[in-house]
Chain A
Amino acid sequence: MSNVAVFDQNAGAGVLAESPLSHVSGRKGGSSPGVILREKAFMGYLTLRGNAADAAFCEGVEQVLGMPLPTAPMALHQNTQKGSSILWISPDEWLILLPGGTEYETELALRAELSGHFAVVNVSGGLTLLTVTGPDARHLLHKSTGYDVHPRNFPVGKGVTTTFAKATAIIRRPSETTWELVVRRSFADYCYRWLVDASREFGLDAEI
């Protein structure tokens, strides 16, 4: 139990929230688009830091999230029931993705469960998530990042922090056909415009 002052950063339904891509108009992709781009706006993001060698820390996280803490590099664990996931970012840092609106209660639950040297920070306002699907999704990523996204190097259940179109992004692969990009809010417009340009040859359907 920690006595850090925290507050619910989600203002609720009474206040208009705008995604960082609220200003773009999207694109109609025709009958067979090669790339389908969607934004999953207003997700909850928590940065978790702690000692993975501490059994109590690992158990506490698993208790709250209902999925084990990933200790292998770049491992992505998902809880499909809750619609949440946790990704290894560095040996002592993880990114927790939650359905929007549940981040505050999860933060409180983690703070109640964990003790000692750890940190939980709500970073929901700073990030957004783009999903890339379609038959040419991987070809689009080949053009955009230096990281090897071939299935032999990038199986389902992996997520990496790497360079994406001269910006930084987290590339995740939660399922066989879906790629997810977690980008900073301030880079969302740039990344979107890069994706529109890079997917021109494949045909893009972007309903943002």
Chain B
Amino acid sequence: MLHIYCPYCGEHREESEFRPKGQAHILRPKDPDNCSDEVWADYLFFRDNPRGLHHEMWLHATGCRKYFNVTRDTVSYEILETYKMGEQPKITAQSRAAGGEK
């Protein structure tokens, strides 16, 4: 059972209150009418499936019903940070490689 910190409720809650919602920080192409099929297909269908650090969206389904972002290690299941929508992660592959926060 994961213990997940909801940045909106300001508390750790049990995993059963949450739903995973896939990869975070997916940007819609600014001009869909004039982007290539490859770019559009990539936006619609193709998702990263990394081994290790992954930024995901989660939904606090039976709590405040807000989406938020989670940085999670897909190998150890360790949740490294959670942050609100619209914010950027503090822990990234680069910051880990640079020996900053793990």
Contacts and interface: CB of A to CB of B under 8 A. Distances in A.
Interface of A: 73-74, 89-91, 93, 146-147, 160-163, 168
B65 interface: yes
Given A146-B16, A147-B13, A162 B63 contact: yes
B11 interface: yes
B11 A162 contact: no
Given A90-B66, A91-B66, A162 B17 contact: yes
Interface in B56-76: 62-66
Contacts, number: 37
B100 interface: no
Contacts of B17: 146, 162-163
B64 A89 contact: yes
A93 B63 CA distance: 12
A90 B17 CA distance: 14
Given A73-B9, A91-B8, A161 B14 contact: no
Contact of B14 (A74, A93, A163): A163
Given A73-B64, A90-B65, 7 more contacts: A91-B8, A91-B64, A91-B66, A147-B13, A162-B17, A163-B16, A168-B62
B32 interface: no
B63 A160 contact: yes
B50 interface: no
Contacts of A162: 13, 17, 62-63
Contacts of B8: 73, 90-91
Nearest to A166: B16
The 10 closest A-B pairs by CB, nearest first: A90-B64, A146-B14, A168-B62, A73-B10, A73-B9, A163-B62, A161-B63, A91-B8, A163-B16, A90-B66
B11 A73 contact: yes
